[in-house]
Amino acid sequence: MAEILIKNVAKRFGTYQALQDINLTISDQEFMVLLGASGCGKSTLLRIIAGLETATEGEVWIGGRRIDHLAPKDRGISMVFQNYAVFPHLTVFENIGFGLRMQKLPQADVERRVARTAELMQIGELLKRYSGELSGGQRQRVAVARALAMEPDVILMDEPLSNLDALLRLEMRAELKGVLAESSTTAIYVTHDQVEAMSLADRISVMHEGRIAQAATPVEVYRNPAERFIASFIGNPPMNFIDATPAGDGKWTVAGQVFDGPATEKGKLEFAIRPEDVRGAEQGLSLNVRVVEPLGAHLLVTGAVDGHLFRAVLDSDLVVNRGDVLTLAPLPDRVRWFDPDTTLAVN
């Protein structure tokens, strides 16, 4: 059992607050992805869990044991680094077996486990090579194999695929998911690529300016973003926002149309809808088309609704031209509302 508990963790570098008030529970064997823009503190949090950085405040527990005062080697973790960190003076075999040798395992066991992990990562025929003789993708595999061979309770990965080209990345992503599902380790995976996050994660923790904005399943994060920032960050293209004014009785006026919304006392809300959640209709929002981009499967239409930037993903059979005015009806159960003052979602 390797449940990870992060309690009230904060980190300051001098006066700079890199992390604040981080509370997160990651269940045993869960695949958790930390997603956020560059500089939001993802690596810092991961390194605090690994023991490469000390938290200014807070506690870290793994498997019911408080570990934030322990050295990295005593935490039951292993880590995959962004730039691989494959030891250049050792062969692939010695790299993968490095941690096992440190545990003083008998030679036969080391050989067996290295062979098995290498097989799993499909680098069985590279065992005699040095890292200088490997391609980026192969080095990446060695780094993952080295971490897996330790059979750790927890595996931490800091943007492990970011140095690979797009195709290899896609391939490695699928492999990584399969390998980790079999290995029954708890995984924390750092990335700023939302597609990677969506495809790998059991749950995503969206980080923003040193705090966790939302921790939920990929679908939940996509469908019900907890903050406006998440709605505007996740999804390609992201959500559309239009100002709304109250029309009484839980009704709101959006671009001249009246919609059912939350019953609050607020004098102002933001109406939000995903570009793919609108349909052509008799009555609805009128979109002044400025740009039409045929993307094959879909048609991406960009324009303005009531002066607000609005994108719609439509069926590619439609004929739309620049200057057209489309009438689009949002799917009622996909409409979301945000409070412009707190930027939080309102139900």
Partner 1 sequence: MSDVAAQTPRDTRSAGRFLYVAGVVFLVAWVLVPLYFLLINTLSSPDAVNSFPKSFIPEFDMGSLQFFAGFEGMLGALWNSAVVAAITMVISITISAPAGYALSRFHFPGKYLFRLLILLTRAFPLPLLALPLAVMFIRTGLDDTVFGLALVHTTLAIPFAVLITYSLFSGIPMELEEAAWTLGCTRVTAFTKVILPLILPGIAASAIFAFVISWNEVFAAAVLTIENRTLTAFLLQNLDTSPLHLKFAGGFILVVPALIFIFAVRKYLFAMWGIANR
Ligand X SMILES: Nc1ncnc2c1ncn2[C@@H]1O[C@H](COP(=O)(O)OP(=O)(O)OP(=O)(O)O)[C@@H](O)[C@H]1O
Stretch that binds Mg ion, among 37-45, 112-120, 222-230, 286-294 (CB under 5 A): 37-45
Report the candidate in 253, 235, 232 with the shortest Cα–Cα distance to residue 244: 253
**66 scored as a contact of partner 1 (CB under 8 A):** no
Helices of type H across the chain: 42-50, 92-102, 107-120, 136-149, 166-183, 194-200, 218-223, 228-233
Q: Which of 2, 9, 26, 44 binds ligand X (CB under 6 A)?
A: 44
Number of chain positions touching partner 1 (CB under 8 A)? 27
Report the candidate in 301, 296, 335 with the shortest Cα–Cα distance to residue 317: 296
Residue 90 CB, nearest approach to partner 1 (Å): 8
Closest CB to ligand X among residues 176, 207: 207
**41 scored as a contact of ligand X (CB under 6 A):** yes
Q: Which of 56, 63, 72, 129 binds partner 1 (CB under 8 A)?
A: 72
The amino acid present at 207, given as its one-letter code, is M
Stretch that binds ligand X, among 31-39, 164-172, 272-280, 322-330 (CB under 6 A): 31-39
Burial string for 257-291 (b: 16+ CB within 10 Å, else e) reads bebebeeeebeebbbbbbbbbbeeeeebbbbebee
Q: Locate 79 and state its tokens.
A: 């880590």
**176: helix, strand or coil:** helix
Closest CB to partner 1 among residues 143, 285: 143
Under 8 Å between Cβ of 79 and 86: no
**79 scored as a contact of partner 1 (CB under 8 A):** yes
- The rounded distance, in Å, linking the Cα atoms of 33 and 36 is 10
**13 scored as a contact of ligand X (CB under 6 A):** yes
Closest CB to partner 1 among residues 69, 251: 69
| Residues linked to residue 149 through DSSP beta bridges, in sequence order | none
**84 scored as a contact of partner 1 (CB under 8 A):** yes
Q: Which residues of this chain interact with partner 1, rule CB under 8 A?
A: 50-52, 71-73, 77-79, 81-89, 98-99, 102-103, 130-132, 146, 150
Q: Which residues of this chain interact with ligand X, rule CB under 6 A?
A: 13, 16, 18, 36, 38-44, 192
